[in-house]
């Protein structure tokens, strides 16, 4: 399955200074992909920025400004409440699966790795994270605005 690696850049970083490749030594990338690195073209990148899934993914965590191509993280209380509510929902679903004797290890691993079932990875401050780790750490970026930089293809 192909998925995007989304790199956020500091708001004042000129476009010509954006990363145009993925660090081949990134342990996070190596652990979460079997292929990575091809840069999305401008049209592909724009389609991700304007996508409903990205807006839904960050709902309650950050605001995506598609015109400015930025992301602004909400305040820490809103972020933490969103994550708490999500965890309640996910653990309730896992409990129901367990009660039906249908819970598998894959469901547990996925719940702790893929926020909202999103396989994408994100990079802020040169650190790649799977979607759940990224959202779990989002409160550290509360109030910050970042440019949505280059997007790379990956496969798992």
156 pLDDT tier (thresholds 50, 70, 90): confident
How confident is the model at residue 17, as a pLDDT?
97
Regarding beta strands 2-10 and 145-155, do their DSSP bridges make them parallel or antiparallel, or are they unpaired? antiparallel
Q: Give the pLDDT mean for 66-91.
A: 98
List Cα–Cα distances, 95 to 55, 81, 99, in angstroms: 28, 21, 6
Q: What is the pLDDT of residues 125-143, one digit of tens each?
A: 999 999 999 999 999 999 9
List Cα–Cα distances, 97 to 91, 108, 119, 120, in angstroms: 10, 11, 21, 25
CA–CA separation, 62 and 58 (whole Å): 5
Q: Is 143 helix (H, G, I), strand (E, B) or coil?
A: coil
The model's pTM is 0.94
How confident is the model at residue 37, as a pLDDT?
80
Average pLDDT, the chain: 96
Regarding beta strands 2-10 and 121-124, do their DSSP bridges make them parallel or antiparallel, or are they unpaired? parallel
Q: Give the pLDDT mean for 108-137.
A: 95
Q: Please state, as a whole number, how many other Cβ atoms lie within 10 Å of the Cβ of residue 119.
A: 19
List Cα–Cα distances, 88 to 61, 121, 155, in angstroms: 16, 23, 30
24 pLDDT tier (thresholds 50, 70, 90): confident
For residues 57 and 35, which has the higher predicted lDDT (pLDDT)? 57
């Amino acid at each position: 399955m192909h998925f995007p690696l989304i790199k956020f850049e500091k708001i004042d970083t000129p476009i010509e200074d954006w990363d145009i490749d993925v660090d081949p030594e990134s342990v996070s990338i190596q652990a979460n992909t079997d292929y990575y690195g091809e840069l999305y073209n401008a049209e592909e990148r724009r389609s991700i920025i304007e996508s409903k899934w990205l807006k839904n993914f960050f709902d309650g965590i950050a605001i995506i400004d598609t015109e400015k191509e930025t992301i602004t993280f909400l305040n820490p209380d809103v972020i933490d409440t969103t994550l708490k509510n999500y965890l309640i929902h996910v653990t309730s679903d896992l409990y129901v699966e367990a009660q039906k004797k249908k819970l598998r290890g894959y469901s547990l691993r996925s719940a702790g790795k893929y926020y909202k079932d999103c396989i994408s990875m994100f990079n802020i401050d040169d650190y790649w994270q799977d979607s759940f780790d990224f959202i779990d750490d989002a409160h550290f970026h509360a109030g910050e605005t970042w440019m949505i930089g280059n997007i790379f293809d990956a496969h798992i």
